[in-house]
Structure 1
């Protein structure tokens, strides 16, 4: 009886998987066509990105009065605005897939005592918008820090001689 239930759940999961692959193929096609634009300096500068976040167009209108520094700052601002818009559009496009995924049973629902692996996923850390060499980027990142460790220096002999071999 339990085997029949699992077989039915597995068949249902496979059907749902096939539907999700169809939706995913459509989403991939629509994502490939996505673009987003951002403007700055009173809309005199426009930067357009493709779905991969690559600049595909930059337009400048009446920018003769801007210094190089102002122009650079405005281009950066417009590109960041375009990236934020691209992120929103991508999230909207992915929403149906996320909803479908949420309706599918998890392995922990099907197998008793199987852990829910979603709870172990690390949280996404947003990327910095600070320019290169800015103080924010100069902060030392120790990376992963392990606290429950043994000091290997205590386990090694102070020197190795030919007699130790």
Structure 2
């Protein structure tokens, strides 16, 4: 490949990257303006969330007193979750357009064949639970980190307890 061809290819790549940055900025602006609303409790409760799924407005109809406090609480929770799901779907639609733009840019591994595809190595985050705080799925054990230590000695971190430990004595 000649030097001029390499320069032209690099200029094309720079132009694609610049276009992708502009598309990213547009997508971020569009996503930041997103809201979603949902109703529950016989349409007596309306909850509106922002793009992050944070509740920004709760409205009760005039006949909200037909519901008990626990029914109101359940309706608010249900409407907030439904609105959060809706705004997440809207966000994913915006990001899907961005992914199409990103797919046009070659990866490092395509430009440099010996370079690993770092993006493919990134773990995907788990789905966030909509379960209440004490639900069984929230009590699941922590993810296995894969680290195992064997043939180790315990160390007492408390200095007062360590003073009485054989391992802390100078003659040990």
Q: Which interval holds the TM-score relative to the shorter structure? A: 0.7 to 0.9
Asked whether 1:44 is paired with 2:44, we answer yes
Aligned partners of 1:37 and 1:82 also within 8 Å: yes
Q: Which moved more, 1:7-16 or 1:85-94?
A: 7-16
Alignment RMSD: 2.4
Gaps of 5+ in 2: 155-165
- TM-score with structure 2 setting the length: 0.80
Q: Deviations over 1:7-37 (max 9, x none)?
A: 4443222111111111122222222221101
Q: 1:124 to 1:32 in 2, by over 3 A?
A: same
8 Å CA contact 1:48, 1:56 repeated in 2: yes
Q: Give the Cα separation in 1 of the matches to 2:100 and 2:41.
A: 39
Match of 1:162 in 2: 170
| Cα deviation digits, residues 64-120 of structure 1 (max 9, x gap) | 121111111110000000000000111111222110111211111111211111221
Cα separation, 1, equivalents of 2:76 and 2:64: 11
CA–CA distance in 1 between the matches of 2:32 and 2:132? 28
Change (3 A) 1:130 1:161: same
CA distance change for structure 1 residues 11 and 152 in 2, over 3 Å: closer, same or farther? Answer: farther
Unmatched 5+ residue regions in structure 1? none
Provide the aligned length of Structure 1 versus Structure 2.
160
Q: Deviations over 1:138-162 (max 9, x none)?
A: 2332541324x543339xxx84653
Contact in 2 for aligned 1:37/1:49 (Cα 8 Å): yes
| 1:2 Cα offset (Å) | 6.9
TM-score normalized with structure 1 length: 0.83
Residue in structure 1 matched with residue 71 of structure 2 by the alignment: 70
Greater mean deviation of Cα atoms: 5-14 or 84-93: 5-14
> Structure 1 residues 78 and 113 mapped into 2: Cα distance closer, same or farther (>3 Å)?
same
Which residue number in structure 1 is paired with residue 93 of structure 2? 92
In structure 2, what is the equivalent of residue 33 of structure 1?
A: 33
